[in-house]
């Protein structure tokens, strides 16, 4: 009889031998880049919490078109974007209204489409929303951000976009269908952070390192799309003044923490999803520095995980979770998740909860939902709402602690 050692058992045994206390880890599959090692303890495969969080789930809305993002309106209804290029209002009972009129054309091939949506900080009085989308352009496409006034009729969940203005365009335009990002997050001073991708292919992706290119960047703009005057590269010749941070791959998760600081999660290649806290002018390494390997299994660049003048991720995953959407948690429903990020997992097919102590991840927990999770929000009730995508349609699932 052949005895096949269980990987979890092997991990537990080795940590028991080396470190005394035994902690289980969420991830037990072998890494794609087994020769790479974390830069510091706890940078990957953090232990699970001592006690697993009990959850119950309830489908709030079903049979929706393939969604990409969701925001709660102040009255508790939900504003959703559909990848194919539509926006809807979904009632608290889960009924979707008709398509909101006035949504501009999007290029929804591949990973493109109508992407994130954010309410203006003064939404209750202005009715303004901001959304990102893969904009069809001469010579290809690119991620753009538009503002619009949402005129609604709460009685029948209808709405219209008026005064639609494209306020920001990621450049250069590229003819591809991958890595558009994106998420939109308003900072505490009303500044708008925009995350994008680097368009994936070998030729454009190196521009993630180029501050004259808008590929692979976080941007920080005002509500008109202009660079903030205290952005890091406003006085650098040849640089795009809207850039906040560089060296990113494809950021489809972004949220503020309790102190109002921006955090992002980006898709790595085969391995190498990263949690970062992007700071002004800093370089997050892609594609020169990365955990994981290319889809072919070959190293990316020199296959290095550290380099001077580049930042280490706060945390990374190999194998990947395929992050999309994230929310900072400080609600009453899950006291154990206080000061955690709840990240949507497309490949992880559920929620990925990383608990923080200061700026370090202390534990990682998974909440399986048996569906690709595209976006995550916390409701005013403290429950967590996951937007799923399966076979081209979506559900909104409420995750609570009750039964
Ligand atoms: Ca990085």
Query: Residue 116: inside a domain, yes or no?
Result: yes
Mean pLDDT (the chain, rounded)? 94
Does the pLDDT value for residue 190 go beyond 80? yes
pLDDT score at 331: 82
CA of 274 to the centre of ligand 1 (A): 6
Residues 380, 71: Cα–Cα separation, whole Å: 12
pLDDT grade, residue 175 (50/70/90)?
very high
pLDDT score at 390: 83
Q: Phi and psi for 19 in degrees, rounded to 5?
A: -125, 5
Transcribe 260-275 into DSSP letters. S-EEEEEE-SBS-EEE
Q: What angle do CA 23, 352, 306 make, to 5 degrees?
A: 75
Percent with pLDDT over 90 in the chain: 91
Query: What distances in angstroms separate CA 271 from CA 251, 296, 321, 330, one per listed residue?
Result: 15, 12, 9, 29
Query: Residue 144: inside a domain, yes or no?
Result: yes
What is the per-residue burial (b if ≥16 Cβ within 10 Å, else e) of 135-150? Answer: bbbeebbbbbbbbbbb
pLDDT grade, residue 351 (50/70/90)?
very high
Does the pLDDT value for residue 257 go beyond 60? yes
CA of 143 to the centre of ligand 1 (A): 21
Does the pLDDT value for residue 378 go beyond 60? yes
The set of catalytic residues is: 179
- The answer to whether 90 and 78 have CB atoms below 8 angstroms apart is yes
Q: Quote the domain boundaries for residue 233.
A: 63-360+371-396
CA of 284 to the centre of ligand 1 (A): 4
> Closest by alpha carbon to 396, among 144, 114, 65, 162?
65
pLDDT score at 392: 85
Does the pLDDT value for residue 14 go beyond 50? no
Does the pLDDT value for residue 219 go beyond 70? yes
Percent with pLDDT over 70 in the chain: 94
Query: What distances in angstroms separate CA 236 from CA 112, 191, 220, 242, one per listed residue?
Result: 31, 21, 16, 11
Structure confidence by residue, pLDDT tens digits, 122-153:
999 999 999 999 999 999 999 999 999 999 98
pLDDT grade, residue 1 (50/70/90)?
very low
pLDDT score at 11: 41
Query: Residue 25: inside a domain, yes or no?
Result: no
- The answer to whether 257 and 282 have CB atoms below 8 angstroms apart is no
Q: Tell me the two tokens of residue 220.
A: 């920080």
Query: Residue 383: inside a domain, yes or no?
Result: yes
CA of 272 to the centre of ligand 1 (A): 8
Q: How many Cα neighbours within 13 Å face the side chain of 356? A: 20
pLDDT score at 402: 76
The DSSP secondary-structure symbol of 279 reads -
Number of structural domains found in the chain: 1
pLDDT score at 391: 77
CA of 312 to the centre of ligand 1 (A): 6
Query: Residue 88: inside a domain, yes or no?
Result: yes
Query: What distances in angstroms separate CA 401 from CA 240, 332, 398, one per listed residue?
Result: 46, 10, 10
Structure confidence by residue, pLDDT tens digits, 266-308:
999 999 999 999 999 999 999 999 999 999 999 999 999 999 9
Query: Residue 36: inside a domain, yes or no?
Result: no
pTM: 0.94
pLDDT grade, residue 101 (50/70/90)?
very high
Q: Phi and psi for 324 in degrees, rounded to 5?
A: -150, 120
Torsion of CA 26, 27, 28, 33, to 10 degrees: -160
Q: What angle do CA 345, 347, 351 make, to 5 degrees?
A: 25
CA of 267 to the centre of ligand 1 (A): 10
Structure confidence by residue, pLDDT tens digits, 37-76:
999 999 999 999 999 999 999 999 999 999 999 999 999 9
pLDDT grade, residue 10 (50/70/90)?
very low
Q: The domain that contains 204 carries what CATH number?
A: 2.120.10.30
CA of 172 to the centre of ligand 1 (A): 22
Does the pLDDT value for residue 18 go beyond 60? no
Query: Residue 52: inside a domain, yes or no?
Result: no
Would you call the peptide bond into 268 cis, given omega within 30 degrees of 0 as the criterion? no
Q: Phi and psi for 337 in degrees, rounded to 5?
A: -95, 5
291-296's contacts with Cβ under 8 Å and 24+ in sequence apart are: 291/33, 291/36, 291/44, 291/316, 291/318, 292/31, 292/32, 292/33, 292/36, 292/268, 292/316, 292/318, 292/320, 293/32, 293/33, 293/269, 294/269, 294/270, 295/269, 295/270
What is the per-residue burial (b if ≥16 Cβ within 10 Å, else e) of 82-94? Answer: bbebbbbbbbeeb
Q: Are strands 372-378 and 384-389 parallel, antiparallel or unpaired?
A: antiparallel
Is the Cα dihedral 234, 240, 243, 247 positive or negative? negative
CA of 364 to the centre of ligand 1 (A): 19
Query: Residue 34: inside a domain, yes or no?
Result: no
Higher-confidence residue of 1 and 399: namely 399
- For residue 31, count CB atoms less than 10 angstroms from its CB and return exposed for 0-12, middle for 13-18, buried for 19 or more: buried
CA of 309 to the centre of ligand 1 (A): 12
- The answer to whether 80 and 70 have CB atoms below 8 angstroms apart is yes
- The answer to whether 59 and 393 have CB atoms below 8 angstroms apart is no
Does the pLDDT value for residue 20 go beyond 60? no
CA of 285 to the centre of ligand 1 (A): 5
CA of 293 to the centre of ligand 1 (A): 13
Strand order in the sheet with 384-389: 56-65, 393-400, 384-389, 372-378
CA of 344 to the centre of ligand 1 (A): 19
- For residue 236, count CB atoms less than 10 angstroms from its CB and return exposed for 0-12, middle for 13-18, buried for 19 or more: middle
Does the pLDDT value for residue 343 go beyond 90? yes
Residues 84, 113: Cα–Cα separation, whole Å: 6
Does the pLDDT value for residue 240 go beyond 70? yes
CA of 20 to the centre of ligand 1 (A): 31
Residues 32, 26: Cα–Cα separation, whole Å: 16
Average pLDDT over residues 167-189: 98
Residues 6+ apart with CB under 8 A from 350: 366, 367, 368, 369, 370, 371, 373
CA of 291 to the centre of ligand 1 (A): 8
């Amino acid at each position: 009889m052949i005895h096949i050692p269980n990987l979890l058992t092997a991990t537990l045994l080795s940590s028991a031998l080396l470190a005394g206390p035994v902690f289980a880890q969420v991830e037990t599959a072998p890494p794609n880049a087994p020769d790479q090692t974390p830069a510091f303890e706890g940078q990957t495969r953090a232990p699970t919490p001592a006690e697993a969080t009990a959850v119950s789930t309830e489908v709030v809305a079903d049979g929706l078109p393939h969604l990409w993002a969701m925001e709660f309106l102040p009255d508790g209804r939900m504003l959703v974007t559909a990848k194919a290029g539509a926006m809807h209002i979904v009632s608290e009972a889960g009924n979707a209204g008709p398509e909101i009129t006035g949504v501009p054309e999007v290029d929804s091939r591949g990973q493109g489409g109508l992407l994130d949506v954010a309410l203006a900080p003064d939404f209750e009085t202005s009715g303004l929303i901001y959304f990102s989308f893969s904009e069809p352009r001469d010579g290809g496409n690119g991620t753009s951000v538009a503002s619009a006034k949402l005129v609604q009729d709460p009685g029948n969940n209808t709405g219209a976009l008026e005064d639609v203005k494209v306020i920001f365009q990621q450049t250069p335009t590229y003819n591809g269908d991958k890595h558009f990002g994106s998420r939109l997050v308003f900072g505490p001073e009303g500044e708008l952070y925009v995350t994008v991708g680097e368009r994936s292919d070998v030729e454009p992706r190196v521009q993630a390192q180029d501050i004259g290119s808008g590929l692979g960047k976080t941007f920080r703009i005002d509500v008109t799309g202009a660079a903030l005057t205290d952005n890091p590269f406003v006085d650098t010749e040849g640089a795009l003044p809207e850039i906040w941070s560089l060296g990113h791959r494809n950021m489809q998760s972004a949220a503020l923490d309790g102190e109002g600081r921006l955090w992002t999660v980006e898709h790595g290649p085969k391995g190498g999803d990263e949690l970062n806290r992007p700071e002004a002018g800093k370089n997050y390494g892609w594609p020169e520095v990365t955990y994981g390997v290319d889809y072919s299994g070959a190293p990316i660049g020199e296959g290095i995980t550290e380099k001077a003048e580049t930042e280490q991720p706060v945390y990374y995953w190999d194998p990947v979770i395929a992050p999309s959407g994230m929310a900072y948690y400080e609600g009453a429903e899950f006291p154990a998740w206080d000061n955690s990020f709840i990240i949507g997992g497309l490949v992880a097919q559920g929620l990925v909860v990383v608990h923080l102590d200061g700026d370090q991840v202390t534990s990682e927990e998974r909440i399986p939902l048996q569906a690709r999770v595209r976006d995550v929000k916390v409701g005013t009730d403290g429950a967590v709402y996951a937007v799923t995508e399966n076979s081209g349609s979506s559900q909104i699932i409420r995750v609570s602690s009750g039964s």
